[in-house]
Amino acid sequence: MNVLWYMCAPDGPYPWRPDGSREVDHGYFRQLALAYDHLGYTGALFATGAHDVWVLAAALLPYTERLKFLVAIHPGLVPVTLLGKMAATLQDFSRGRLMINVVSGDAKMLGAYGMDLPHDERYAMADEYLQVWHRLMAGESVTHHGRYVQVTGAKLALPAGRGIAPPPLWFGGSSDAALDVAARHVDVYLSWGETPEQMARKVEVVRAKADALGRHLRYGIRLYVIVRDTDAEAWEAAAALYDRMDEAAIAANQHFVGGTDSVGQQRMSAMHGGVKPADLRALEVAPNLWAGLGLVRPGPGTAIVGSPDTVLRTIEAYQKAGIETFILSGLPLLEEAYRFGERVLPRLPVEREAPGAGAAGADRIGTKPFTWSTLFDRDLGQPKHP
């Protein structure tokens, strides 16, 4: 399985309030990258936000050895040949640690960048864009004059010249148009924090579409985690967050996500309805799965809440639904990465590469549990049993 941790701003113990926000600069990002790499996460999600994710990923690359970089792109905002060159360069410099997260976004966000396409047309554009992408990554010389993409004699030197494997494509979207694009083009299909039962139904639908095209996909989910020594302590931590969700913060976030044409966001908002009940457990939408963060945070607003054993049982429920990739986060990012990384991650069969492994994945740790002694022995080159 894959376990990634979130990278981007905002951050803090309760970042929807000024007194709970943390300054997020290059120094703090460097701390996050070092921690994620040190703890043994498969990778980090570089999601769209205040910082440009490509510049951020390039800036953090020298501080990591095994961490993979899941970097967001918006089809159509960058010409496909230029994106291919950017991706091939980062894939080359990282020795094969780049992954691409294809994000079609919503009309409100993309309109700020000059893209004014209705919902389904954005996915039609993404479909054409990714057709050309695959040809470029295969080393072809491409001439294509379509409705959304026009290139003449486009060709990338790096994939063919260096033997670099194309970065895998990850993709999220809940509409019918999105599922069709996923089935045709991507390697990993992602969804925001729906329940295991909801995810099982969604995986079944996407798998049927992919099977009809002779393709095999992997499936992942984006969630928050609140893990403490006991279930009671974890819910106390959730209550501390809940107590700081004031009416102004809730109203601001609900205004921000209101009117979106993103089906995924609509499904997240439906879990809490934009209303804060008196009892936080009223937003427990499945055992140990709490939708309260969606009141003040856009995107995935659900969190696994509980002890390490409870968190593991919930992850297992998702695995039974067909999920093998987990993109997680907590508040604050750094502290929660350590809590999960020390109490839960070593008990999961996480796929990662050893420090310095090349694009072919030599010296892969594979499914062995990660331990501090493993990190020590590999980093210093000392035998475990002299």
**Among 95-104, 236-245, 299-308, the range of highest mean pLDDT:** 236-245
In a domain, 288, yes or no: no
In a domain, 240, yes or no: no
Among 137-141, 295-299, 315-319, the minimum mean pLDDT is found in 295-299
User: What is the pLDDT confidence band of residue 355, given thresholds at 50, 70 and 90?
Assistant: low
Under 8 Å CB-to-CB from 218, ≥6 apart: which residues? 187, 188, 189, 324, 325
User: What is the pLDDT confidence band of residue 157, given thresholds at 50, 70 and 90?
Assistant: confident
Predicted TM-score (pTM) of this structure: 0.86
In a domain, 303, yes or no: no
Mean pLDDT for 77-88 is 93
Mean pLDDT for 185-195 is 92
Q: What angle do CA 358, 363, 365 make, to 5 degrees?
A: 115
In a domain, 239, yes or no: no
pLDDT for 146 equals 95
Domain count, the chain: 1
Mean pLDDT for 272-292 is 88
pLDDT for 303 equals 95
In a domain, 264, yes or no: no
Cα–Cα distance, 236 to 216 (Å, whole number): 41
Phi, psi of 170 (to 5 degrees): -115, 155
Residue 316 CA to chain centroid, in angstroms? 19
pLDDT for 357 equals 52
Q: Which tokens go with 168?
A: 């895998």
In a domain, 261, yes or no: no
β-pairing verdict for 2-6 and 325-329: parallel
Residue 143 sits in which domain range?
Answer: 2-224+309-380
Q: Say if residue 127 is exposed, middle or buried (CB neighbours under 10 Å; 0-12, 13-18, 19+).
A: middle
Q: What is the CATH number of the domain that holds 78?
A: 3.20.20.30
In a domain, 26, yes or no: yes
Q: Check pLDDT > 70 for residue 362.
A: no
**Among 156-165, 229-238, 244-253, the range of highest mean pLDDT:** 229-238
In a domain, 304, yes or no: no
pLDDT for 106 equals 67
Among 24-28, 209-213, 379-383, the minimum mean pLDDT is found in 379-383
Cα–Cα distance, 340 to 317 (Å, whole number): 18
Q: Check pLDDT > 80 for residue 235.
A: yes
pLDDT for 228 equals 98
